[in-house]
Amino acid sequence: MSTLHAPILRWYDRHQRDLPWRSADASAWGVLVSEVMLQQTPVARVLPVWAAWMERWPTPAALAAEPTGEAIRMWGRLGYPRRALRLHAAATAIEERFDGRVPDTYEELLSLPGVGDYTAAAVASFAYGARHVVLDTNVRRVLARTVAGHEFAGASVTAAERRLAEAVLPTEDAPLWAVASMELGALVCTAANPRCGACPVADQCAWRLAGSPAYDGPPRRGQAWAGTDRQCRGRLMAVLRDADGPVHRTVLDGAWADAEQRERALAGLMSDALVEQVGPDTYALPG
């Protein structure tokens, strides 16, 4: 597998994006925040929010001292705002259990609220230089194409896929390999319209050499938005984030016309601890 490493690492050296959480002086906390924000969200949208977040809360202790509602407010329009709650819970656990320092082992990172396999492996690798398989969507697609010969990886990580990633993982420079293969998937080996002519390993890509066969696995789910409960929730959250205090139900009524869907979305937001009812007809972000 070393035939993949050298060309991809050379490509990364020339084409890597200058991202603040990759800088030499980035803190482990900054890396953790970036990894949570980047889940299902493009880099361009994350950059300004990450910068504002790190300016306000440069340490886990700083965030843990604030109400969860402030984390939700700062999350803005990144989407999936439960991630803000998970970061707040992780910051609180780091402060209480690890003396305010982001833990450096995969096992300890995995013990934090809301931190799963990928995030634990990514932080241990990128913040502390540990050797772990880091399988995000981009890395999985690169390995599926270059090694397994499939257009896309499956819906979830399988044991066979993890064994393949382990086999490819270099003994040295494992964190560099992880970020380089991730970047290749983000910029060249993209899900739609991959730029095979710019790929440093196109000459050994199993999928390309097989004639780029079309994906024949289970149907891939799209990301519908217009008219969905997710869009309704987003509208209600926007009203609450922009308010200086509690919001009356009539204001929320004006944010979404479908009353049944609006009530369902509001109930879901309260169930997810993203919204509190603070009066008979008033609502606010958590205090």
Domains in the chain: boundaries: 229-284
Average of pLDDT values for 208-237?
84
Q: Which pLDDT does position 174 carry in this prediction?
A: 96
For the full predicted model, state whether its pTM sits above 0.85: yes
Asked whether 287 and 276 are in contact (CB, 8 A), the reply is yes
Average of pLDDT values for 277-286?
96
Give yes or no: 35 in active site.
Answer: yes
3-state secondary structure of 244: coil
Q: Which pLDDT does position 227 carry in this prediction?
A: 87
Q: What does pLDDT average to over the chain?
A: 95
Instruction: Identify the band that residue 3 occupies on the pLDDT scale cut at 50, 70 and 90.
Output: very high
Instruction: Identify the band that residue 26 occupies on the pLDDT scale cut at 50, 70 and 90.
Output: very high
Instruction: Identify the band that residue 222 occupies on the pLDDT scale cut at 50, 70 and 90.
Output: low
> Which residue has better confidence, 207 or 155?
207
Q: What is the dihedral of CA 184, 190, 194, 197, to 10 degrees?
A: -10
- Rounded Cα distance between 206 and 262, Å, is 48
Asked whether the predicted pLDDT for residue 203 surpasses 80, the reply is yes
Asked whether 252 and 239 are in contact (CB, 8 A), the reply is yes
Asked whether the predicted pLDDT for residue 2 surpasses 80, the reply is no
Q: Which pLDDT does position 220 carry in this prediction?
A: 63
35, 70, 95, 183: which is the annotated catalytic residue? 35
Token look-up 């925040």 returns: 33
Asked whether the predicted pLDDT for residue 46 surpasses 60, the reply is yes
> Which residue has better confidence, 227 or 138?
138
Q: 1: Cβ–Cβ under 8 A, 6 or more apart, which residues?
A: 147, 167, 168, 170
Q: Which fold has domain 229-284?
A: Arc Repressor Mutant, subunit A (1.10.10)
Q: Which pLDDT does position 1 carry in this prediction?
A: 57
Q: Which pLDDT does position 224 carry in this prediction?
A: 75
